[in-house]
């Protein structure tokens, strides 16, 4: 997972800043914060990569919570962000392009095999004079 320079949450675009200091919010030292009215997410880069990424998820969840008006508590956001970050970390391919064999098989089934077979037969008959084989 990468922390992007910007992210869209609902109808709002947020600039994501990695800052070289602690983030102070409500007179407390925090890993990060989201400025909902200004479209800014600040994340302190003084902490580990894991902490920064978890903080990014945490602040995005605050943005989602505000957008969909669920009124989650700070504790609920904290627990959800830890769980979601761990899920993303443990399953990195979940949100990538589907290259699984089942997807490839589903695509190939949609091809008109009769049309392909007819085209191959015509090509062989025209170029190799092998009509007797078909």
Distance CA 19, CA 47 (A): 11
| Full-model pTM | 0.71
Express each pLDDT in 18-33 by its tens digit: 999 999 988 999 999 9
111 pLDDT band, cuts 50/70/90, is: low
Q: Does 101 score more than 80 pLDDT?
A: no
Beta strands in 1-134 (DSSP E): 6-9, 12-19, 23-25, 28-30, 32-35, 40-44
Distance CA 68, CA 88 (A): 22
Q: Does 65 score more than 70 pLDDT?
A: yes
Distance CA 41, CA 96 (A): 24
């Amino acid at each position: 997972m990468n922390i992007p320079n910007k992210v869209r949450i609902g109808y709002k675009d947020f600039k994501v800043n990695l800052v070289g200091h602690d983030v102070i919010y409500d007179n407390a030292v925090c890993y990060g914060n989201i400025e909902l009215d200004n479209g800014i997410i600040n994340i302190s880069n003084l902490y580990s990569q894991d902490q920064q990424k978890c903080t990014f998820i945490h602040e995005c969840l605050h943005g989602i919570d505000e957008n969909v008006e669920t009124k989650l508590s700070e504790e609920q956001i904290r627990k959800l962000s830890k769980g979601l970050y761990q899920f993303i970390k443990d399953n990195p391919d979940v949100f990538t392009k589907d290259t699984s064999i089942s997807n490839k098989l589903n695509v190939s089934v949609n091809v008109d095999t009769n049309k392909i077979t007819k085209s191959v037969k015509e090509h062989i008959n025209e170029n190799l004079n092998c009509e007797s084989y078909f």
